[in-house]
């Protein structure tokens, strides 16, 4: 895990130019049991933030949509992370068969003592609330959770309204183009004056709840996850300015993204 920690530390430094990340509940990460991490998904950048922060405490293998493995450099990083390639369920018509196979992979990894990062919604949120809907991946895993494994929920706040989110256009941003824009904004702000976005990540052990509601069925389980993610209420979009010399910042408007 040594090289991962070095890579994660370097990338946290890169991300810190734009994001001020606050972690809550990290004490539970001292427990070395195999853990299934279940975060909400506000923006395409949150897996980068989540993984770079998690690797400060534990080794983890994320499930990543196969499209990212086609992006140069990103693919190399994902291989170093031991990321698990998964089909894009938004585009696939074979969701049931795909999920069944992935379910087995995740359960086996947990049974072997590995930590896994899985996004229950499987896609970016379309609003300030997380909607898991009818997705079944997390439910199937928790319904077969190995006896010595646990589930940690991760509630992420602060990224709704980011250029990496769907807040402005209603569509998922192009990863490569958005990344290039991010680099431009950092350089345009002379590296040290980039306006920062505050992001909060809260860790909470939700093993008992997930096991209980998984036994009741997919819908009760997904509603339980949604209640956890949306506990603080609907988040309003924050369109943060991209240049330090532009005055102010706007909530709930797309004129300044």
Length of the chain: 257
Give the C-alpha distances (Å, rounded to integers) separating 103 from 35, 67, 84, 117, 249.
Answer: 15, 20, 12, 13, 43
In 10 A of CB 178, how many CB atoms? Answer: 16
pLDDT at 255: 35
pLDDT at 124: 95
In 10 A of CB 148, how many CB atoms? Answer: 10
pLDDT at 100: 62
pLDDT at 5: 85
pLDDT at 79: 74
In sequence order, the 6+-apart residues with CB closer than 8 A to the CB of 170 are 126
Q: Which helix (H) or strand (E) holds 8?
A: helix 2-15
Instruction: Give tens-digit pLDDT for 234-246.
Output: 999 999 988 888 7
3-state helix, strand, coil in the chain (%, to 5): 40, 15, 45
Instruction: Give tens-digit pLDDT for 161-186.
Output: 999 999 999 999 998 899 999 999 99
pLDDT at 198: 97
pLDDT at 216: 97
pLDDT at 29: 96
Sorted by where each begins, the domain ranges of the chain are: 3-230
User: Right CATH number for 3-230 from 3.40.50, 1.10.1060, 3.40.1130, 2.60.40?
Assistant: 3.40.1130
pLDDT at 88: 65
Q: Per residue of the chain (257 residues), give pLDDT as tens.
A: 677 888 889 999 999 999 999 999 999 999 999 999 999 999 999 999 999 999 999 999 887 777 777 777 777 777 777 777 766 655 555 555 555 667 888 998 899 999 999 999 989 999 999 999 999 989 999 999 998 999 999 999 999 999 999 999 999 999 889 999 999 999 999 888 999 999 999 999 999 999 999 999 999 999 999 999 999 999 999 999 888 887 755 544 433 33
Strand order in the sheet with 150-157: 19-24, 197-205, 150-157, 35-39, 116-117, 61-65, 84-86
Task: Identify the bridge partners of residue 111 per DSSP, sorted by sequence position.
Answer: none
HSE value, Cβ hemisphere, 13 Å, CA-based, for 113: 2
- Of 123, 135, 103, 162, nearest in space to 219 by CA: 135
3-state DSSP assignment of residue 75: helix
pLDDT at 96: 55
């Amino acid at each position: 895990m040594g090289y991962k920690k070095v890579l994660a530390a370097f990338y946290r430094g890169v991300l810190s130019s734009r994001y001020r990340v606050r972690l809550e509940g990290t004490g539970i990460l001292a427990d070395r049991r195999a853990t299934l991490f279940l975060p909400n998904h506000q923006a395409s950048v949150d897996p980068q933030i989540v993984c770079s922060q998690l690797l400060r405490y534990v080794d983890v293998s994320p499930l990543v949509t196969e499209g990212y493995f086609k992006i140069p450099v990103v693919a190399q990083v994902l291989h170093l992370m031991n990321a698990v390639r998964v089909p894009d369920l938004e585009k696939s018509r074979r969701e049931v068969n795909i999920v069944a196979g992935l379910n087995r992979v995740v359960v086996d990894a947990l049974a072997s003592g590995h930590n896994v990062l899985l996004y229950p919604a499987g896609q970016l949120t379309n609003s300030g609330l997380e909607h898991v809907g009818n997705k079944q991946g997390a439910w199937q895993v928790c319904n077969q959770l190995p006896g010595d494994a646990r589930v940690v929920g991760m509630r992420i706040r602060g990224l709704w309204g980011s250029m990496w989110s769907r807040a402005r256009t209603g569509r998922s941003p192009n990863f490569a183009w958005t990344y290039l824009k991010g680099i431009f904004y950092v350089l345009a702000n002379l590296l040290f004056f980039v306006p920062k976005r505050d992001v909060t990540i809260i860790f909470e052990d939700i093993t008992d709840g997930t096991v209980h509601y998984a036994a009741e069925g997919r819908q009760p389980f997904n509603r339980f996850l949604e209640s956890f993610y949306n506990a603080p209420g609907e988040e309003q979009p924050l369109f943060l300015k991209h240049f330090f010399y532009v005055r102010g910042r706007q909530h709930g408007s797309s004129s300044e993204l």
